[in-house]
Amino acid sequence: MRWFIPEGLEPTEMDSRILYWQERGKLVPTRELIRTKEQIEGIRLAGVLNTAVLDCVQEHIHEGMSTLEIDRLVYDYTVSHGGIPAPLHYEGFPASCCTSIDDVVCHGIPSAEEILEEGDIINVDCTTILNGYYADASRMFVIGHTTPEKQHLVDVAWECLKIGEKVCSQPYVFVGDLGNAISNHAHKNGYTVVRDLCGHGVGVHFHEEPDVEHYGRPGTGMLLVPGMTFTIEPMINAGDWMVCGDEEDPTEWIVLTEDGSPSAQWEHTFLMTENGVEILSH
Ligand code: MF3
Ligand code: CO
Ligand code: CO
């Protein structure tokens, strides 16, 4: 649906900016993607709880615990604070969070048999529903000390997220602007960017428009305007960018690097404002 100005309303600054780019063939948001004040407040509160869930994980994660114990922490903390873990039963996902160790790119499934070991790098990805609103974030945790190679990967993946955030320090940038900056930084460090999975609009639903690809050309992808809420969540591989499924995973959720190299990811939920992005969950 093309952007239009509702009858009887004076075009705002935002309307004219959006119309300008639409006329030049760019992908612009629909009205639904621009949150109302009430929606922003709801997503903000979901973000506060989601960040607190990750803080709780950070406080308790340790060598020797199982990833199922992480899942229990996430479930108990979320539910006892009035929230719902969005992953649970989402399109057949069987747990309350994703726990992705080493060569697991994302959507790792918590398990009683999977014990955290010294040197593991693990992504814990939590999404919380509060009063119907969603926030989504993930962090990397290093169990004890790891190899310099894996530590560097974790650090560069963080830098990639922060570079994406920096590109969004003003509105009316394109998703391709941040994707380009992120992939440049990954490649400069000898790493690759996963192409099969991307960030996304979030807030009213779990996964919405726009697709936030972490690679691409400047000026491509959707225009990011004030009031949009979305994630940036680059998945950075030490080896090749190709991913595959796990043959032993009946849910078909787990995503692995095809070459077995380690992968790292950090994710925040952002609100675009007139002055650039604000972090709603981290
Ligand atoms: N939280 C993930 C994301 O960043 C999605 C996980 S879907 C699940 O988009 F079902 F695996 F939880
Ligand atoms: Co997530
Ligand atoms: Co996400």
Overall average pLDDT of the 10-24 stretch: 95
pLDDT in tens, 68-117: 999 999 999 999 999 999 999 999 999 999 999 999 999 999 999 999 99
Query: Which CATH number does the domain housing residue 244 bear?
Result: 3.90.230.10
Of how many residues is the chain composed? Answer: 282
Is residue 205 a contact partner of residue 172, using CB atoms and an 8 Å limit?
Answer: no
- Ligand 1: centre distance to CA 85 (Å): 11
Domain residues for the domain of 69 are 31-281
In a domain, 13, yes or no: no
What's the number of domains the chain is made of? 1
The model's pTM is: 0.98
On the question of pLDDT at 260 being above 80, the answer is yes
Query: Which residue's C-alpha comes closest to atom 4 of ligand 1?
Result: 136
In a domain, 240, yes or no: yes
Give the number of whichever ligand sits closest to the CA of residue 86: 1
Give the number of whichever ligand sits closest to the CA of residue 90: 1
Query: Which residue's C-alpha comes closest to atom 8 of ligand 1?
Result: 87
Q: How many CA atoms lie within 13 A of 252 on its CB side?
A: 2
Overall average pLDDT of the 128-147 stretch: 99
Which residue among 98, 161, 246 is best mutated to probe the pocket of ligand 1, counting the most ligand atoms within 8 A of its Cβ?
A: 98
In a domain, 239, yes or no: yes
- Ligand 3: centre distance to CA 199 (Å): 5
In a domain, 17, yes or no: no
On the question of pLDDT at 179 being above 80, the answer is yes
In a domain, 21, yes or no: no
Overall average pLDDT of the 203-228 stretch: 98
Which residue among 127, 138, 229 is best mutated to probe the pocket of ligand 1, counting the most ligand atoms within 8 A of its Cβ?
A: 127
Is residue 266 a contact partner of residue 140, using CB atoms and an 8 Å limit?
Answer: yes
In a domain, 112, yes or no: yes
In a domain, 166, yes or no: yes
In a domain, 266, yes or no: yes
Q: Look at residue 6 in the predicted model and tell me its pLDDT.
A: 85
Q: What atom in ligand 1 is closest to the CA of residue 87?
A: 12
Residues with CB under 6 A from ligand 1: 87, 90, 93, 98, 107, 125, 127, 136, 233, 253, 267
**pLDDT, the chain, mean:** 98
On the question of pLDDT at 1 being above 80, the answer is no
On the question of pLDDT at 271 being above 90, the answer is yes
Give the number of whichever ligand sits closest to the CA of residue 199: 3
